[in-house]
A and B are shown apart, each in its own frame.
Chain A
Amino acid sequence: MEIDLSQFSQVFFEESLEGLESMESELLKLDVNEPDDESINTIFRAAHSIKGGSATFGFSQVADYTHLLETLLDEIRDGRRQMTSDHQDMLLLSVDLLRNMIDALMRKVDFEDPLLAELERRFTAALAVNNANDDSHDENTVEATSNEDDANQMATWTIDFQPGIDILRCGNDPSLMFNELRLLGNLDVKIVDSTLPDFSDMDPEACYLNWQLTLVTEQTLEQIKEVFEWVEDECTINYHKKVHSPQADQASASENQETTQSDTPQQSPGTELTTTKPKAVTPAKTPEGGSIRVSIEKIDILINMVGELVITQAMLGQIGQQDSIDEESLLSMKQGLEQLASHTRDLQESVMQIRMLPISFAFNRFPRLVRDIGQQLGKKVELILKGEETELDKTVMEKIVDPMVHLVRNSLDHGLETPEVRVSKGKEEVGSITLNAFHQGGNIIIEIIDDGAGLDTELIRKKALEKGLISEDEELSEDAINQLIFKAGFSTAEAVSDLSGRGVGMDVVRRNIHELNGTIELKSTKDKGSRFTIRLPLTLAILDGQLVRVGKHTYVVPLVSIHESLQVEEQRINRISESHELIRLRDEYLPVIKVFQEFGHDADSHEIRDGLVMVVDSNNEKIGLLVDELLSQQQVVIKSLEDNYYKVPGVSGATILGDGTVALIIDIFGLVNLAGITNASEHAA
């Protein structure tokens, strides 16, 4: 039968990556001195499954490599070998290496990495240590002599088969074995019933019979023995061979060859591997798009809701078929519509739920990261994860990981002090970094908290002065100074080691979070530590929006960006040029963008004093948007404008309002660019 094994590759890749993930997290949890049995078992199982699968599906590079891991882990599992931190390191490195190997398989490219050979060498060396009690070599030599020259000679074998009394209880059936022998040659079966007990002593489930089998075949002893392979331990089997050969000497020479099964060695694993290795398979297609695993529970909820929806639809349909609508049916129609509204809402929520994954998917990578960087920096760190089961949209999760990594690196690098410094400050030697996630309203809050030194306000102030972000005489609160790290152009390159300063500043972190319609806040206390709070919408598909009117047009502004809206009197308006106007808000000067101007259409209010200024946040700068009127606030479903059109500057997408018309969603950052305001604070300065 031809079965294309490549159809299973994709599943194999996915489960292998999952296996590596659990392997990694168990390895990180592991206390090398007292490894937990269950952890070791989990790690072993992951390696074992990957090896089994890769060998079966023809990924021999992965199979050969995981074989080393498996062997080592098996020895640790059985207590034959003591786990060391070196082992732990090698295994962690292997997790990365295997990820890359599988990635290469998915992309159907060759995998080459000097690390592979290096780790192979380390594993082989580790396995060679202390392995004197391995006596497999002797077995192989015995094996070699036991079946030499008897291939392809027609011979008559007499086999005394005395099965163990429990053979039937293992589901083995002697008659099936005899059938198999018949495939090898001509078989004659004789029952030997001399061992039958008295009827009264007989256990109906036991096997008391022995057989004498005569097989005429060209096959080797090995092939005959294979038939009894499963039962040879419990059975006594004697083989006698008589060669049908004109050369009588040879016949007599091997005639009395007798082997007692119980101590016949196993076929060496090596030969077995080569004979059963499957044909090379072509790897599966590279995956297109992402897939998502959805729990059956979520799908069931969805199906239930669709069921409800169908019932409501049927009810409304019935009313629709009536020729006239009386009071009663009008009432039930209203009820139906209400139900429809509530079902639709529920359905929307449940569909969104499908995309929701626990944030542990994002958190999982941090134990490793914290461990590695902590080691590198010589800092002792404890990572505390909280609220790992908090769910958020898969896309949001994918996009928030990088900013989080950056923040955690930052905390490790700048926040946490070295053990000595900590002790001198009277703190615990081991610092802590906490990742905490929870839901609040329609948002997810992710906190990154460290108990380190806090931000160095003086240094930041100095830097900001140098960069001209603030002026000498500016009186800023400590908090306000700390916020400066989010400003574009604030690079702490000097103060930053190469770890967190990989060319990415906090302004980029902030912008990335903003692009997800989220916000980031910072609280820092000297010598107590700092806390970054990221607030994100649960999904990118829905947005909390403020509807605004500009002339005849309705736009949606993300609520999360809006600080306040106000009318501005003439005396607070500063006109610095034809196109640039500032307003004074308390002690700040904000540039104002006239939406109608940028969007090239008419509006009721052409002057700032006539309209309404909405103070919004653009990349940590406050900006005023001139609009005519605030309408309602509502959740809107985000639709792409690019699907059928093109990206439009200043517009992030579109939505459909309650009346069925389309409203565009304003992209504040894009609008600022469109207006040519490069750095809002420059105007203020």
Chain B
Amino acid sequence: MTQITQQEQANTDETSQQYLTFIMASEEYGVDILSVQEIRGWEATTIIPNSPSHVKGVINLRGTIVPIIDLRQRFGIETLEYGATTVVIVVKVAISSDHKIIGIVVDAVSDVFSVNNTDVRSAPDFGDDTDLGFIKGLTNAQEKMVILLDINKLLGSEILPEASQLSNLINNIDAQQPKAVNE
């Protein structure tokens, strides 16, 4: 288990990046603030026929048709009723040379903070064929672990690969977390 702390030493990049963090199923996630276009409340969508269940439909964002993706469902976490506090983060996703505007449904927006790149640790390697490419790394903010997401990898693929195992993975990370910090 000590390898986690050793991995982070390799990262010597001094620059820092700002992240917007949000809460989902009591985990905190961060996305690069530069990719965030706006934050909106949940509104009814127009469903897209025969789309994967995490695609909630499309909305009209000032004349542009924007798909909405439920990140809970995307991660295979049990869904919640959408309520007044349900939030949609509209992000700009780079896809090859183009970009798409996509809304992601999360439980609540948490914070904006700066992370020094040296403080980002790689996600643990679980050795199996689980593709965790969309996790940029882990960091700590105010004594809490934050999972930093690579939004381009998360939302950039054609039909998003199912990641129902992710909740298990997150639990695993959680399990490792205290030990890593304590060392």
Is A664 a contact partner of B46 (Cβ separation < 8 A)?
A: yes
**Interface membership of B66, Cβ < 8 A:** yes
Q: CA–CA, A188 to B59, complex, Å?
A: 86
Q: CA–CA, A601 to B65, complex, Å?
A: 21
Main secondary structure of the interface of B (DSSP, over half): strand
List, in ascending order, chain A residues with CB within 8 A of B57's CB. Answer: 662
Q: CA–CA, A664 to B50, complex, Å?
A: 13
Interface-side segment among A241-249, A311-319, A574-582, A646-654: A646-654
Is A648 a contact partner of B101 (Cβ separation < 8 A)?
A: no
Q: CA–CA, A601 to B60, complex, Å?
A: 21
Is A600 a contact partner of B64 (Cβ separation < 8 A)?
A: no
List, in ascending order, chain A residues with CB within 8 A of B63's CB. Answer: 639, 656
Which residues of B61-99 are within 8 A (CB) of A? 63-67
B interface footprint on A641-683 (CB within 8 Å = 1, 0 otherwise): 1011110111100101000111110000000000000000000
* Closest beta carbon of chain B to A506's beta carbon, Å: 32
Is B44 a contact partner of A601 (Cβ separation < 8 A)?
A: no
List, in ascending order, chain B residues with CB within 8 A of A553's CB. Answer: 46-47
* Closest beta carbon of chain B to A181's beta carbon, Å: 60
List, in ascending order, chain B residues with CB within 8 A of A654's CB. Answer: 46, 58, 65
**Interface membership of A604, Cβ < 8 A:** no
Interface size class of A (residues with CB under 8 A): 20 to 34
**Interface membership of B3, Cβ < 8 A:** no
List, in ascending order, chain B residues with CB within 8 A of A646's CB. Answer: 158-159
**Interface membership of B49, Cβ < 8 A:** yes
Is B65 a contact partner of A643 (Cβ separation < 8 A)?
A: yes
List, in ascending order, chain B residues with CB within 8 A of A111's CB. Answer: none
- Kindly report which residue of chain A lies nearest to residue B48, judged by CB atoms: A648
Is B49 a contact partner of A662 (Cβ separation < 8 A)?
A: no
**Interface membership of A71, Cβ < 8 A:** no
Which residues of A552-609 are within 8 A (CB) of B? 553, 598-601
A interface footprint on B150-180 (CB within 8 Å = 1, 0 otherwise): 0000000011000000000000000000000
Q: CA–CA, A599 to B159, complex, Å?
A: 18
B interface footprint on A608-646 (CB within 8 Å = 1, 0 otherwise): 000000000000000000000000000000011101111
List, in ascending order, chain A residues with CB within 8 A of B60's CB. Answer: 656, 660-662
Q: CA–CA, A553 to B47, complex, Å?
A: 8
Choice from B58, B100, B101 contacting A662 with Cβ under 8 Å: B58
List, in ascending order, chain B residues with CB within 8 A of A651's CB. Answer: 48-49
**Interface membership of B51, Cβ < 8 A:** yes
List, in ascending order, chain A residues with CB within 8 A of B67's CB. Answer: 644-645
Interface size class of B (residues with CB under 8 A): 20 to 34
Choice from A640, A644, A649, A650 contacting B101 with Cβ under 8 Å: A644
Is B48 a contact partner of A645 (Cβ separation < 8 A)?
A: yes
Is B46 a contact partner of A645 (Cβ separation < 8 A)?
A: no
Is B100 a contact partner of A648 (Cβ separation < 8 A)?
A: no
* Closest beta carbon of chain B to A277's beta carbon, Å: 39
Q: CA–CA, A639 to B66, complex, Å?
A: 11
Q: CA–CA, A660 to B46, complex, Å?
A: 11
List, in ascending order, chain A residues with CB within 8 A of B55's CB. Answer: 645
Q: CA–CA, A600 to B47, complex, Å?
A: 10
Given that A645-B58, A645-B100, A646-B158 are known contacts, is A601 also in contact with B64, CB under 8 Å in the complex?
Answer: no
- Kindly report which residue of chain A lies nearest to residue B95, judged by CB atoms: A644
List, in ascending order, chain B residues with CB within 8 A of A643's CB. Answer: 64-65, 100
- Kindly report which residue of chain B lies nearest to residue A645, judged by CB atoms: B67
- Kindly report which residue of chain A lies nearest to residue B103, judged by CB atoms: A644
Given that A641-B58, A644-B67, A644-B101 are known contacts, is A598 also in contact with B48, CB under 8 Å in the complex?
Answer: no
* Closest beta carbon of chain B to A670's beta carbon, Å: 11
Q: CA–CA, A458 to B166, complex, Å?
A: 67
* Closest beta carbon of chain A to B6's beta carbon, Å: 41
Is B50 a contact partner of A649 (Cβ separation < 8 A)?
A: yes
* Closest beta carbon of chain B to A666's beta carbon, Å: 10
**Interface membership of B102, Cβ < 8 A:** yes
- Kindly report which residue of chain B lies nearest to residue A648, judged by CB atoms: B48
Q: CA–CA, A599 to B64, complex, Å?
A: 23
Q: CA–CA, A21 to B45, complex, Å?
A: 50
List, in ascending order, chain B residues with CB within 8 A of A649's CB. Answer: 49-50
Is B50 a contact partner of A644 (Cβ separation < 8 A)?
A: no
Q: CA–CA, A395 to B100, complex, Å?
A: 24
Which residues of B85-124 are within 8 A (CB) of A? 100-102
* Closest beta carbon of chain B to A171's beta carbon, Å: 56
Q: CA–CA, A664 to B58, complex, Å?
A: 10
List, in ascending order, chain B residues with CB within 8 A of A663's CB. Answer: 46
List, in ascending order, chain B residues with CB within 8 A of A661's CB. Answer: 44, 46, 60
Q: Taking each of A644, A651, A662, A664, which has the highest tally of chain B beta carbons within 10 Å of its own beta carbon?
A: A644
Q: CA–CA, A86 to B63, complex, Å?
A: 58
List, in ascending order, chain A residues with CB within 8 A of B65's CB. Answer: 639-641, 643-645, 654, 656, 662
Q: CA–CA, A598 to B48, complex, Å?
A: 12
List, in ascending order, chain A residues with CB within 8 A of B58's CB. Answer: 641, 645, 654, 662
List, in ascending order, chain A residues with CB within 8 A of B44's CB. Answer: 661
List, in ascending order, chain B residues with CB within 8 A of A644's CB. Answer: 64-67, 100-102
Is A664 a contact partner of B48 (Cβ separation < 8 A)?
A: yes
Q: CA–CA, A224 to B27, complex, Å?
A: 89
List, in ascending order, chain A residues with CB within 8 A of B64's CB. Answer: 639, 643-644
The 5 closest A-B pairs by CB, nearest first: A599-B49, A662-B46, A645-B67, A644-B100, A654-B65
8 A-B interface contacts by CB (under 8 A): A639-B64, A643-B65, A644-B67, A646-B159, A648-B48, A662-B58, A664-B46, A664-B49
Q: What 4 new A-B contacts, CB under 8 Å, besides A640-B65, A651-B48, A660-B60?
A: A639-B63, A645-B100, A649-B50, A662-B59
